[in-house]
Amino acid sequence: MWGDRTDKRVAGIIEGAEKAEAAPGSEQRLIADLYRSYMDTDAIEAAGLGPLKARLDEIAAIGTQQDLARALGRMLRADTDALNATNFHTANLFGLWVAASFNDPDHYTAYLMQGGLVLPNREYYVSGNAHMKEIRAKYQAHMATMFRLAGFDDAEERAARVFALELAIAQVHLSLADNENIEKANNPWSAADFAAKAPGLDWKEYFRAAGLDHQGSFIVWQPTAFAGEAALVASTPIDNWKDYLRYHLIEKYGADLPAKLADEDFGFFQKTLQGAQQQRPRDQRGIRVVNAVLGDAVGKIYAEQYFSAEQKAKVKALVANLIATFRQRLQANTWLAASTKAEAIAKLDTLQVGIGYPDSWRSYAGLEIRRDDLIGNLMGAGLFDYHYQLGRIGKPVDRREWCMEPQTVNAVNLQLDNGLNFPAAILQPPCYDPQAPDAFNYGAIGSVIGHEISHTFDDEGAAFDSKGRVRNWWTPADRAHFEDVTGRLAAQYDAYMPFPDLHVNGQQTLGEDIADVAGLIDSFDAYHASLHGKAAPMIDGLTGDQEFFLAFAQNWASKSREAALRQQVVANEHAPAQYRADTVRNVDGWYPAFDVQAGQALYLRPEARIHIW
């Protein structure tokens, strides 16, 4: 598949960097040295937990609430999620995100987010589902094992205290579905507001330690979670917090520590939570680390070698066709008021579309990488990235900046920037093939492009105007119609049950489901427009429409272990792949293409099919 092909290409880039013997500090040297530090298991074993000693000593020295606030602030500064290269969990009680402001989209601002959990989300802590209860028991046992392997006594007692604290944090978190309501996330707080609105944490000391003491205001995404978590800082014994910080620090780097800890980390987070039976080879894991830390350095080479100007021009034309078709759908829309329609078309006309790779690249000047110190490299890269993010606050927004690298097999709608990114790695077979018939490419990559365009108008995108500002630009009647139709789509997905005890949460996946439906319809229309009135040619015995829908279905061909599929249903905003393929049920053109009749499993009555735009 494309992921394996892309990894092989990146492996070749890393091998080339190693052979180049480039000058210290050069990007090729950074790539080579970081990869070598990951592959040097002898040095990792010899170092043991030594790289964490200074941080563990700081935790041991905590004696007051002020000390605790300082430690929590330092942890935010030192452990950014962007550099969490091998684990998905975070050590931070709160998270920092720097992006265009909801209210001043021309400048970057600081967002603060709920955090503090190691399991994928709050449902893993609070759900009464029998499977979740089993996961929690195994998680607490895993905690105790990590404490024991790290040399701490009373491991079971420490694990029980940490789990109790994480449970209390989970209980004040917003659910994933609630977290996606942009209007409720737009909460500007001044630095002085925190003491009154979220008492319990010494916020001045926290911000000072985090390097945020000169920041006058923030947007707080989940105010109730901040109030709840800050209260826990005051009400929970400091010794419990010290064990919490120790465990989160060890877990943060668990996969990169000596084998006894790394194997235990894999055993729980990959085997128990996701059903994996064996580790990926270490060289493949090393590629992931290099991509996470030095993504633009690798991406620059990847784009030069694997994405030509000719390919870029062809995809650019395809994107233009889909945008034009979406504009026609908006213009023909019968339920939008004229003012709402005008703003929607303005959003579409101002989309910033990036194809293949960005116009400019991130600089790594000043980042130090040693080939014999993996943990030091990850810590240093985290701090380097954190300072980069802080340096953007208050500056003008670069709407052409990418949030993905060319070697990423994915695509994204950047709603704050009103932009789209389609990295080079997704623009290859089986999703895009410049030699394939148009029907194939419109069904495969065309549906992806349409999906990302449609995010501009999903339940989250609808909250942003054409300038990226959070503003209600809908009439009450328009909004009521939109919520009625999308509510029926959520109910459609609620009915999908991959397991007898677990169904898809249609509200949680709604934004992606809206984009799937609207994007597929847009791409189908664009394909027919590309025929210019001519009949589609037969392709290996298939009609053009059949080829289109089969190419779309092929996008979602996948296999999932039960544990991984359960995790996706509970903790991901995307519906499982098999239900995304079933998007065709809402597309009128799919029915004659395959002569789908009433009474068949996937048939939907015409009035039950969801057509939004």
pLDDT tops 90 at residue 82: no
Q: Is the pTM above the cut of 0.85?
A: yes
pLDDT tens track for 362-388: 999 999 999 999 999 999 999 999 999
Q: DSSP H helical segments within 336-431, as ranges?
A: 338-349, 374-392
Contacts of 472 (CB under 8 A, 6+ apart): 183, 463, 479
Contacts of 573 (CB under 8 A, 6+ apart): 176, 180, 508, 509, 511, 512
Contacts of 321 (CB under 8 A, 6+ apart): 526, 529, 530
Residue 163 CA: distances (Å) to CA of 145, 156, 392, 455: 13, 10, 36, 37
Least confident of 73-82, 397-406, 566-575: 73-82
In a shared domain, residues 329 and 252: no
| Residue 1, pLDDT score | 67
| Residue 91, pLDDT score | 61
pLDDT tops 50 at residue 85: no
Tokens of 554: 């092929």
Beta bridge partners of 539: 542
| Residue 257, pLDDT score | 96
Share of the chain above pLDDT 90, in %: 90
**How many CB atoms lie under 10 A from the CB of residue 349?**
10
Residue 206 CA to residue 135 CA, distance in Å, equals 33
Instruction: Name the domain boundary from 251, 276, 298.
Output: 298
pLDDT tens track for 94-109: 999 999 999 999 999 9
Domain assignment present for 430: yes
Judge whether 303 and 357 are in contact, CB under 8 Å: yes
Least confident of 53-62, 177-186, 216-225, 428-437: 177-186
Domain assignment present for 248: yes
**CATH classification of the domain holding 580:** 3.40.390.10
In a shared domain, residues 286 and 348: no
In a shared domain, residues 236 and 265: yes
Of 179, 149, 349, 136, nearest in space to 263 by CA: 149
| Residue 37, pLDDT score | 98
Average pLDDT over residues 410-426: 94
Judge whether 129 and 502 are in contact, CB under 8 Å: yes
DSSP string, 218-233: EEES-HHHHHHHHHHH
Q: DSSP H helical segments within 236-369, as ranges?
A: 238-252, 259-266, 273-274, 282-293, 295-306, 309-332, 338-349
pLDDT tops 90 at residue 450: yes
Question: Residue 413: which H helix or E strand, with range?
Answer: strand 412-414
Cα 167 → chain centroid: 24
pLDDT tens track for 509-565: 999 999 999 999 999 999 999 999 998 889 889 999 999 999 999 999 999 999 999
Tokens of 247: 């465990």
pLDDT tens track for 216-250: 999 999 999 999 999 999 999 999 999 999 999 99
Domain assignment present for 371: no
Q: How many helices (H) and strands (E) does the chain have?
A: 29, 7
**Band (83; pLDDT cuts 50, 70, 90):** very low
Average pLDDT over residues 323-349: 95
**Band (79; pLDDT cuts 50, 70, 90):** low
pLDDT tops 50 at residue 81: no
In a shared domain, residues 452 and 511: yes
Counted domains in the chain: 2
**Band (608; pLDDT cuts 50, 70, 90):** very high
In a shared domain, residues 324 and 265: no
In a shared domain, residues 141 and 212: yes
Residue 405 CA: distances (Å) to CA of 285, 294, 398, 430, 460: 17, 10, 16, 19, 24
Domain assignment present for 368: no
pLDDT tops 60 at residue 566: yes
Residue 446 CA to residue 315 CA, distance in Å, equals 9
| Residue 3, pLDDT score | 81
**How many CB atoms lie under 10 A from the CB of residue 415?**
22
**Taking each helix axis from N to C terminus, what angle separates 338-349 and 309-332, rounded to the nearest 10 degrees?**
180
In a shared domain, residues 284 and 315: no
Of 568, 445, 582, nearest in space to 499 by CA: 568
In a shared domain, residues 181 and 287: yes
Instruction: Name the domain boundary from 255, 272, 298.
Output: 298
Judge whether 180 and 214 are in contact, CB under 8 Å: no
**Band (78; pLDDT cuts 50, 70, 90):** low
Domain assignment present for 151: yes
Tell me whether strands 412-414 and 94-100 are parallel, antiparallel or unpaired.
Answer: unpaired
pLDDT tops 70 at residue 90: no
Domain assignment present for 479: yes
Average pLDDT over residues 66-91: 68
In a shared domain, residues 497 and 597: yes
Of 120, 166, 376, 374, nearest in space to 262 by CA: 374
In a shared domain, residues 344 and 486: yes
Average pLDDT over residues 259-280: 95
In a shared domain, residues 292 and 435: no
**How many CB atoms lie under 10 A from the CB of residue 111?**
18
Q: Look up the domain containing 113 and give its range.
A: 2-298
**CATH classification of the domain holding 178:** 1.10.1380.10
In a shared domain, residues 598 and 465: yes
Instruction: Name the domain boundary from 279, 298, 317.
Output: 298
Q: Which of 118-127, 178-187, 458-467 is modeled with the greatest confidence?
A: 118-127
**Band (459; pLDDT cuts 50, 70, 90):** confident
Cα 224 → chain centroid: 23
Q: How does the average pLDDT of the chain come out, rounded?
A: 94
Domain assignment present for 28: yes
Sign of CA dihedral 296, 297, 299, 303: positive
Domain assignment present for 375: no
| Residue 460, pLDDT score | 87
